[in-house]
Amino acid sequence: MRMSIFSALIAILFIVTFSVKAEKTPVGSEEEMVIKSIVFDQNTQAPVVLLTDEEDSVVLPIWIGICEARSIEIGVSDVVLPRPMTYDLIAAVLRTLNAKVERIVIVDIRDQVYYAQVEISVDGKVSKIDARPSDAIALASRMSAPIYVKKSVLDKAALLDPGKEKRGL
């Protein structure tokens, strides 16, 4: 466990140090979302983070692990634990390096698996780092970073009417 955390921190330091300018995303190809809640799916016995748009007219359910769900809950609630969790450690390292999590983006869904990127900037240089959506959301909740979802993902997986069955999954 210590080695994996250490390896992750080294990777972050490397990426932040040698980052390149990220390309601009076309306006209108993404929707800003917020964490509405975390619920428990009785059928799959797994937590689900629900992302919604500002009007609550679109809901994107993302099934996540129990540990990640707890970490997101802690990040959203601003609870300070006596010892930092992994996401707290990563956030502290980023702040120490004067790095900023600009935003996270849910970029794709394939075979019912979501893909995300964390956009981190240092000295005006932005890097896009691939991440699991649950990890990206947990980090965003600690860094006050906005959450975006590509429209193509919403077209495939979002609930346009929260009372209806989810399309495409």
What are the C-alpha distances in Å from 117 to residues 88, 90, 105, 106, 132?
18, 15, 5, 7, 8
Q: What class does CATH assign to 2-157?
A: alpha beta
- Identify the residue with better confidence: 44 or 16: 44
Q: What is the pLDDT of residues 107-157, one digit of tens each?
A: 999 998 999 999 999 998 999 999 999 999 999 999 999 999 999 999 998
pTM of the model: 0.79
Structure confidence at residue 168 (pLDDT): 38
CA dihedral 147, 157, 131, 36 (to 10 degrees): 40
Task: Give me the chain's average pLDDT, please.
Answer: 84
Q: Where are the chain's structural domains?
A: 2-157
Beta-carbon contacts of 98 under 8 Å, excluding residues fewer than 6 positions away, are 122, 123
